[in-house]
Amino acid sequence: MGTAIFWAIVIGGILLSRKLFPHWWASAPMLPYAPRPALPEGLPPGAKDARAIKLEDAQPGDYVAVVGRVGPHADLVAPLTRRPCVASDLVVSDVVTGDRITRLLRAGSFVLDTGAAQALVDARGAFVRLQHDQELDDVDHRRFEDGVIPPDAIGRRFTAFEGIIAPGEYVLVIGVVEKPGTGGDIGYRASADIRLRIAGGGVRPSVVSTLPSDLRPILR
């Protein structure tokens, strides 16, 4: 008898609460789409599948992570400081509102030298990670290369952060090994062994990074 009375009270309470507090029982609205998660901090998904290896031991088709030094030549010039580089990242914001005006990421080709071997790296389209080491505050559009600032933003004042990958820096390169000579030689670097291909996107993303947190695990 006691059990029947207990369940009668429970069920009665539930029915009463549905009448008195209907918002408690309302179904959560369905989202029109599932939001795509933001890219997590660190290397892009799939990059951790790369195998840390000596470049001279790599075989065609291997997905590898290699640390070496950038060769002495630079194809690019940083858009803010005009420093020679093989990659640069510029972020420009409105000095008053803090709104981002533009971001300009560039990467070119370079020779990766591990001491025992060299490879020609084409970093166009790669996931580039570097540190912003230059900041300019309260500057106008004339401080930048032509075309960096959108026409509708000319007349504002800006804060700019810039970072580069310069010749001689240590760099982590993640990419797919190719046979020597594939992909075409590039100018003065034709003497380098063209073994490491860098192609952005896909299930095996390419990475070029100078961040100490990326270099440290490979250098151990």
- Give pLDDT, residue 16: 55
Indicate whether 172 belongs to any domain. yes
Indicate whether 54 belongs to any domain. yes
- Give pLDDT, residue 49: 85
Indicate whether 4 belongs to any domain. no
Indicate whether 134 belongs to any domain. yes
Best CA proximity match to 68, nearest among 114, 125, 8: 114
d(CA 8, CA 3): 9
- Give pLDDT, residue 42: 74
User: In this structure, are strands 63-70 and 170-177 parallel, antiparallel, or unpaired?
Assistant: antiparallel
- Give pLDDT, residue 165: 97
Q: Are 196 and 66 in contact (CB under 8 A)?
A: yes
Indicate whether 25 belongs to any domain. no
Indicate whether 31 belongs to any domain. no
Q: Tokens 């590039």 correspond to what residue?
A: 186
d(CA 175, CA 196): 6
Give Cα 130 distance to the centre of its chain.
9
Strand-pairing partners, residue 107, are: 87
- Give pLDDT, residue 88: 95
Indicate whether 33 belongs to any domain. no
Q: Are 162 and 90 in contact (CB under 8 A)?
A: yes
- Give pLDDT, residue 44: 83
- Give pLDDT, residue 146: 84
- Give pLDDT, residue 26: 41
Q: How many other C-beta atoms are found inside a 10 Å radius of the C-beta of residue 86?
A: 27
- Give pLDDT, residue 216: 80
Q: What is the pTM of this model?
A: 0.72
Q: What is the extent of the structural domain holding 117?
A: 47-219
Indicate whether 68 belongs to any domain. yes
Per-residue pLDDT for the chain (220 aa), expressed as one digit of tens each? 556 665 566 566 555 555 554 444 444 333 333 333 333 357 888 888 888 888 888 888 888 899 999 999 999 999 989 999 999 999 999 998 999 998 999 999 899 998 888 888 888 888 999 999 999 898 888 888 888 889 988 889 999 999 999 999 999 999 888 765 555 544 444 455 556 666 655 678 889 999 988 888 776 5
d(CA 135, CA 163): 9
- Give pLDDT, residue 53: 85
d(CA 63, CA 8): 66
Number of domains, the chain = 1
Q: How many other C-beta atoms are found inside a 10 Å radius of the C-beta of residue 112?
A: 27
In the three-class reduction of DSSP (H, G, I as helix; E, B as strand; rest coil), residue 151 is classed as helix
